């Protein structure tokens, strides 16, 4: 049984004479929660002292979100990615307390093995939702998986601040991500594959189906469809529908469903006509059959029954 776990910050982290001296090193790439006071030559505000320094490894979507994540003004973020030199890695790790591995899930062990000596004194965190705390090369790398959809550009700051992290419970989130004011909950390591699969099903399947619908709208009813719709962006037509779906999901009562239309009404005749029309896309037709079949069964067995609350 998974137990919930709320965790808020504060509630419980000499030169050769024949050679010219080398040029001074470039500033360590950093990101700060606030730009306080005048900036020093290193790019760090001269009157600001950091309690914690976090190094983000990677430069993908998650790394970009972590760079701008709302956090305490006493928390510094530095960056490194694999296209940079190991000398640069040594520079950004100097004095750092935490290393955040925002890299591919299947690259975690290789990175820990290759950099084990450099990482020994650091608190290590990864973000792979299907994996728990990792023990590798004498290191422990803790999981802190953000429940969010990664996008370019990253989500707005107010949304990032509301993101929940799933952790193992071995360490509180305030120790893993100091300066972050997000909440967390515990998922046992043995449950993580199912936990992550459910998130992928609810997120990626829904997104993929919506994108397929947009493409079919553009082909059938947009510029390639009726002349009256020529040049109209199907996304602008469909956006209010998408907004209404998320509103229904957010506001539904626990005992009710947000399903709508013929599925919610149990209108088998309409469902059959829809299924026949989807013969032009056998892949979508097959998915539609599974969803409708399951939803009709759920409707007939649910207590109270699924009802249509909107016309």
Tens-place pLDDT, residues 40-66: 333 444 445 668 999 999 999 999 999
Which strand (E) or helix (H) includes residue 74? none
Q: Looking at residue 240, which CATH number applies to its domain?
A: 1.10.1040
Tens-place pLDDT, residues 61-80: 999 999 999 998 889 999 99
162 and 42 in a common domain: yes
Tens-place pLDDT, residues 185-224: 999 999 999 999 999 999 999 899 999 999 998 888 875 4
Structure tokens at 86: 């190991």
Name 240's Cβ contacts closer than 8 Å, sequence gap at least 6: none
Q: Of 132, 155, 187, which closes a domain?
A: 187
What whole-number distance in Å separates Cα of residue 251 and Cα of residue 258?
Answer: 9
200 and 170 in a common domain: no
Percent of the chain with pLDDT over 70: 77
In a domain, 17, yes or no: no
Q: Looking at residue 82, which CATH number applies to its domain?
A: 3.40.50.720
pTM of structure: 0.76
The answer, yes or no, to whether residue 306 has pLDDT greater than 50, is no
Phi-psi region of 231 (alpha: psi -120 to 50; beta: other; left: phi over 0): left
Write out the residue range of the structural domain in which residue 277 sits: 193-301
Tally the domains of the chain.
2
- The mean pLDDT value of the chain amounts to 82
218 and 98 in a common domain: no
In a domain, 296, yes or no: yes
Q: Of 154, 187, 220, which closes a domain?
A: 187
283 and 165 in a common domain: no
Q: What is the CA radius of gyration of the chain?
A: 25
What pLDDT sits at residue 231?
Answer: 58
């Amino acid at each position: 049984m998974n137990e919930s776990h709320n965790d808020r910050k504060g509630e419980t982290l000499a030169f050769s004479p024949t050679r010219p001296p080398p040029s001074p090193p470039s500033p360590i790439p950093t990101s700060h929660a606030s730009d306080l006071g005048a900036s020093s030559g290193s790019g760090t505000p001269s009157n600001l002292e950091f309690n914690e320094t976090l190094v983000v490894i990677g430069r993908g979507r998650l790394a970009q979100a972590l760079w701008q994540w709302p956090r305490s003004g006493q928390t510094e973020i530095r960056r490194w990615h694999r296209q940079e030199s190991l000398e640069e890695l040594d520079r950004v790790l100097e004095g750092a307390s935490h290393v955040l591995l925002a890299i591919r899930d299947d690259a975690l062990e290789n990175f820990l093995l290759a950099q084990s000596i450099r990482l020994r004194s650091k608190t290590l965190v990864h973000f792979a939702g299907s994996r728990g705390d990792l023990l590798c090369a004498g290191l422990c790398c803790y999981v802190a998986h953000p429940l969010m959809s990664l996008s370019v550009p990253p989500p707005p700051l107010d949304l990032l601040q509301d993101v929940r992290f799933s952790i193992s419970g071995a360490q509180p989130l305030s120790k893993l991500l100091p300066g972050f004011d997000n909440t967390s909950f515990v998922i046992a390591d043995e449950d993580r594959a199912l936990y992550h699969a459910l998130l992928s099903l609810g997120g990626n399947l829904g997104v993929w189906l919506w994108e397929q619908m947009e493409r079919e709208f553009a082909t059938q009813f947009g510029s390639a469809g009726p002349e009256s719709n020529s040049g109209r962006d199907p996304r602008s037509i469909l956006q209010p529908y998408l907004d209404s779906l998320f509103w229904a999901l957010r506001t539904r009562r626990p005992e009710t469903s947000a399903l709508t239309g013929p599925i919610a009404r149990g209108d088998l005749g309409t469902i059959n006509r829809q299924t026949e029309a989807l013969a032009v896309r056998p892949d979508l037709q097959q998915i539609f059959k599974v969803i409708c079949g399951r939803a009709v069964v759920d409707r007939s067995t649910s207590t109270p029954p699924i009802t249509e609350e909107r016309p």
